[in-house]
Amino acid sequence: MIKKLFVGNLPYSAKQDSLEELFGQAGKVESCNIITDKFSGQSRGFAFVEMSTEEEAKAAIEKFNNYEMDGRKLVVNESRPKEDGGRRDNNRGSFSRDRG
């Protein structure tokens, strides 16, 4: 079963291929996605890495949590499902066209 890991405190200079290579030391990397700003394209300082097994994911967490990369200590843990971050109500704060 594929396990998704969150990698935080990533140096902004980190590239996908170097991150894949690094995590490849712990096992087979299924995918690697560095999250970027949609306007500037610059890294937002975190990524998601999918390892092919739970054992490899645990090995990656042990090996790379607090691992220093370009002067920054990585934070690596199991990714949690995205929570509903409070959807905006489309009617909140809008003015009625009927002023009556």
Global pTM value: 0.79
Helix, strand, coil percentages, rounded to 5, for the chain: 20, 30, 50
Q: Which pLDDT band, with edges at 50, 70 and 90, does 99 fall under?
A: low
- The mean pLDDT of the chain is 88
Least Cα distance to 65 among 52, 83, 78, 55 occurs for: 78
How does pLDDT run across 10-36, given as a tens digit for each residue? Answer: 999 999 999 999 999 999 999 999 999
Q: Which pLDDT band, with edges at 50, 70 and 90, does 73 fall under?
A: very high
Report the alpha-carbon angle 1-6-45, nearest 5.
150
Give the chain's domains with CATH numbers.
3-72 (3.30.70.330)
Q: At what angle do helices 54-64 and 16-23 cross, to 10 degrees?
A: 110
